Structure 1
Amino acid sequence: MMMMSISNEPFALAHKEEYKIYGFPYSASTWRVLAVLHEKGLSYYPITVNLRTGEQKKPSFLSINPFGQVPVLLDGHLKLTESRAISLYIENTHRSRGSKLLNHKNYKKMGIETMWMYIESFEFDPPATTLTFEQAIKPMTGLKTDYKVVNETEPQLEKVLDIYEERLKISRFLAGNRFTLADLFHLPNIEYLMNTTTKRLFENRPNVHRWVAKIMARPAWRKACDANA
């Protein structure tokens, strides 16, 4: 899907029933939101904020998000930042549409799903994002990977994946036997890391490897990746 430039874009939805998404094609956080939109079968109007040229620091974008980060979702006059918050908003707003990404009828199960979403954010994401930056983002921007950082960070990710391996012995997905936001939130970093030497950390753990293959193969995720091509 082509993404429009931020320049001269009005602060309003382009089409009545579409969300407006400010993002960047190589942004893991943007991928996360697009995956949720595709899981729910929702259309959206994408606008590129070119992070490579510093467009996120220009007044035109800072007026939308003063933190200078993507993605941003606009729904009429509602403006949301932070990919996980946006994802939760989309799921809660469209809970009866498309994939059911949270268990809205059972609060105990939702509690487990929420717990694993926090685990992704606080335990998995920090080392995974560091490894993604060093091995995927840096080379794309002409910078050299710091393998000292990689070697220091991989053991941190291994500790998390060891816990995941045990969990995935007893359930198909992290929060239970169906795919939820707890799984989806992992996908952007996993997509990058499976194209680096760090992929062995996932492949060496059979239950983690099975889980990774299953969530990466979801049609909505493949569409989200294609949209950023």
Structure 2
Amino acid sequence: MVLKLYATPIAGGGSGIVAFVLAEKQIPFELVPVDMSAGERKGADFLALHPFGQIPVIDDDGFILYEGRAICRYLAEKYADEGTPFLPRELQARALVEQAASVEYANFYPAVAKLAVELIAKPRTGQPTNPTAVVEGHAALSAVLDVYESILAKHRFLAGDEFTLADAFHLVAAPRLAAEGVDFLTGKGPNVTRWWNELITRPAWVKLKAEGVKGTV
């Protein structure tokens, strides 16, 4: 049975990062589109897959898994010998990947999410933007990127010289900010700029952004 990905066709958020890993790994999958605006995710059938009514979800021959980062780790482990090796096998190298991934989730993503709420989500729904929250979001993100600059001065990617899930997870939300004209790289160091440009110009990501999420079967 081919793997099923329940997601939207737009390459963003958790759906986008799972589709990215599928593409880098060249894993065949069927896209099951979920209409988020129609309330489909709150129906009984979908809640049976994801009790919180969110996307993405995968069905791998009856094994149901939700939450984008968990799905990516599962795919990286199951298809370790195919495509991009997102997770090293050596214990200490793996620990460094998990360390960097934890930093992304605890520090980078919250700052990006705060800015996305204030500068993208609120204006689209007619809500006023909180200037204090915007300043806080920019300051938090800038502080994270300053630390990244020192890390990336030592090696090409966040957990070493190889591209891993720790780097890929940064594509969950930050590209949306850039697409909406929110500049978070001006004034940042050359290593962060180089690293970020490497992420967003990976062929699989460029294709996803241009074509959207499409099943391969």
TM-score normalised according to structure 1 size: 0.85
Residue 69 of structure 2 aligns with an amino acid whose one-letter code is R
The structural deviation recorded for 1:136 is: 3.4
The structural deviation recorded for 1:138 is: 4.5
What is the RMSD of the two structures over their aligned residues, measured on CA atoms? 1.8
The structural deviation recorded for 1:61 is: 1.1
Q: Name the structure 2 match of 1:90.
A: 75
1:138-149 aligned within 5 A: 138-139=122-123, 141-144=124-127, 146-148=129-131, 149=133
What CA distance in whole angstroms lies between the structure 2 residues aligned with 1:71 and 1:31?
9
Q: Is 1:156 aligned to residue 157 of structure 2?
A: no
Q: Name the structure 1 match of 2:35.
A: 50
Q: Name the structure 2 match of 1:108.
A: 92
Q: Name the structure 2 match of 1:124.
A: 108
Q: Is 1:32 aligned to residue 14 of structure 2?
A: no
Q: Any stretches of 5+ residues in structure 2 without a counterpart?
A: none
The structural deviation recorded for 1:220 is: 1.4
Q: Is the 8 A contact 1:135 1:145 kept in 2?
A: no
1:160-171 aligned within 5 A: 160-171=144-155
Secondary structure of the corresponding residue to residue 194 of structure 1:
helix
Secondary structure of the corresponding residue to residue 69 of structure 1:
coil
Q: Any stretches of 5+ residues in structure 1 without a counterpart?
A: 1-15
**Count of aligned residue pairs for this structure pair:** 210
Secondary structure of the corresponding residue to residue 203 of structure 1:
coil
Greater RCO, CA 8 A, separation 6+? 2
The structural deviation recorded for 1:137 is: 4.1
Q: Name the structure 2 match of 1:202.
A: 185
Residue 141 of structure 2 aligns with an amino acid whose one-letter code is L
Q: Is the 8 A contact 2:122 2:129 kept in 1?
A: no
Q: Is the 8 A contact 2:3 2:60 kept in 1?
A: yes
The structural deviation recorded for 1:134 is: 3.0
Per mean C-alpha deviation after superposition, the further-off stretch among 206-215 and 90-99 is 206-215
Taking only the aligned residue pairs, the percentage that are identical comes to 33
TM-score normalised according to structure 2 size: 0.89
Residue 51 of structure 1 aligns with an amino acid whose one-letter code is M
What CA distance in whole angstroms lies between the structure 2 residues aligned with 1:35 and 1:143?
32
